[in-house]
């Protein structure tokens, strides 16, 4: 990113005096803050601020998974309307967290159906009441418990729920034709995860959920992740899911071992790494350590 001061220096020269390369740099300075990347079979991802958005542009309509925040959703809607005049058929939420569902409101009167796991809807309602933001919500009108098959024209989608993990309402959505699954915050790629125990999270079950996903979906399935560390992709493969499962196993095992050894929470939270974990680094280790300690001492 070009710094403003540098830009002003260039601008004062007048564009005519600049090399083509420098003109390109200046164009980049004015580029949109969001990115759209098409994956395959007209499924793409949108990234700006918050959890990764997935979408399908189909002759029978548009499907959107997650919404970041209202400003970001408005950017997305403008972009998609430039690419197709088809209607917005379904909006799907992977879970209730604000960086995935706050933008729902931008789809009010625009999308035909909003879908989420039944617990995600309850969590979204509770969260909105707590934050006094009920009027800024667009809630799901369709919820499911274990599985939901969605068919709209030739569009085929499957929603799955494999039990508590990041929250107690994490849905996995598969675009059948493209063989692409959005797993939301069930996957933090090489980045320490948020584990929302106040919304029913379970590390031990999370590892099972990742196994179930890998066993259910195909070898060539592309996964869309909620978040990734700087420099890592927000899409990947079953191998990434299994590596994250290994991280979670080591995290919880470490907490259980330290609790058994009589460590206090305060002592445990002083750890800067999890033994055996090499690829998950960077800031934010206190949050998973806290959740793991609490899970290890609560017996749940």
Shortest Cβ 97–Zn ion spacing (Å) = 4
Locate all alpha helices (DSSP H) within the chain, ordered by sequence: 4-13, 20-29, 70-83, 98-101, 118-130, 203-216, 238-260, 265-268, 286-298
What mask of x and - would describe binding to Zn ion in positions 44 to 73, judged by CB under 5 A?
Answer: -------x----------------------
* Class of residue 158 by CB neighbours under 10 A (exposed 0-12, middle 13-18, buried 19+): middle
CA distance 235 to 21: 31
State which residue, 188 or 268, has the beta carbon closest to Zn ion. 188
Instruction: In whole angstroms, give the CA distance from residue 143 to residue 115.
Output: 6
In terms of Cα–Cα distance, which of 243, 244, 226 is closest to 235?
226
- Between residues 42 and 202, which has the closer beta carbon with respect to Zn ion? 202
**Which residue's structure tokens are 């299994």?**
242
Q: Is 193 in the site for Zn ion (CB under 5 A)?
A: no
Query: At its nearest, how many Å lie between Zn ion and the CB of residue 200?
Result: 12
Q: Are 255 and 265 in contact (CB under 8 A)?
A: no
- Partnered with residue 228 across adjacent β-strands are 189
Residues 74-103 that bind Zn ion (CB under 5 A): 97, 99
**Residue number, 176 or 233, with CB nearest to Zn ion:** 233
Please, which residue, 128 or 155, has the CB nearer to Zn ion?
128
CB of 58 or CB of 166, closer to Zn ion: 166
**Least distance to Zn ion, CB of residue 170, Å:** 8
Question: What does the alpha-carbon distance between residue 114 and residue 90 come to, in Å, rounded to a whole number?
Answer: 6
Please say which residue, 275 or 282, places its beta carbon nearer to Zn ion. 282
Total residues in contact with Zn ion, by rule CB under 5 A: 5
Q: Of the listed pieces 73-81, 108-116, 182-190, 264-272, which binds Zn ion according to CB under 5 A?
A: 182-190
Half-sphere exposure of 242 (CA within 13 A, CB side): 6
Q: Strand, helix or coil at 132?
A: coil
Is 192 near Zn ion (CB under 5 A)?
A: no
Q: Which stretch binds Zn ion (CB under 5 A): 16-24, 39-47, 224-232, 254-262?
A: 224-232
Check if the beta carbon of residue 51 is closer than 8 Å to that of residue 184: yes
Q: Which is nearer to Zn ion, 118 or 177 (CB)?
A: 118
Q: Which residues bind Zn ion (CB under 5 A)?
A: 51, 97, 99, 185, 226
């Amino acid at each position: 990113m070009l710094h403003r001061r540098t830009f002003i220096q260039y601008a004062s020269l007048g564009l005519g005096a600049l090399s083509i390369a420098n003109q390109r740099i200046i164009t980049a300075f004015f580029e949109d803050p969001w990115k759209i990347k098409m994956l395959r079979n007209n499924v793409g991802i949108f990234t700006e601020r918050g959890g990764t958005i997935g979408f399908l542009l189909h002759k029978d309509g548009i499907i959107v998974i997650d919404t970041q925040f209202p400003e970001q959703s408005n950017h997305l809607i403008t972009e998609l309307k430039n690419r197709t005049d088809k209607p917005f058929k379904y909006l799907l939420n992977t879970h209730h967290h604000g960086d995935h569902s706050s933008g729902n409101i931008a789809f009010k009167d625009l999308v035909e159906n909003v879908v989420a796991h039944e617990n995600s809807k309850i969590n979204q309602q509770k969260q909105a009441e707590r934050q006094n933001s009920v009027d800024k919500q667009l809630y799901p009108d369709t919820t499911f418990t274990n599985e939901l098959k969605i068919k709209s024209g030739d569009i085929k989608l499957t929603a799955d729920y494999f039990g508590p993990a990041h929250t107690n309402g994490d849905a996995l959505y598969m675009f059948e034709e493209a063989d692409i699954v959005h797993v939301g915050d069930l996957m933090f790629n090489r980045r320490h995860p948020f584990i929302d125990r106040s919304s029913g999270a379970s590390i031990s079950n999370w590892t099972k959920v990742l196994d179930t996903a890998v066993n259910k979906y195909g070898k060539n399935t592309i996964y869309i992740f909620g978040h990734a560390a700087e420099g890592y992709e927000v899409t990947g493969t079953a191998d990434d899911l299994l590596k994250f499962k290994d991280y979670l196993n080591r995290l919880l095992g470490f907490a259980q071992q330290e609790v058994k050894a009589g460590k206090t929470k305060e002592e445990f939270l002083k750890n800067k790494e999890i033994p055996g974990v090499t690829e998950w680094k960077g800031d934010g280790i206190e949050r998973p350590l806290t959740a793991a300690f609490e899970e290890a001492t609560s017996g749940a």
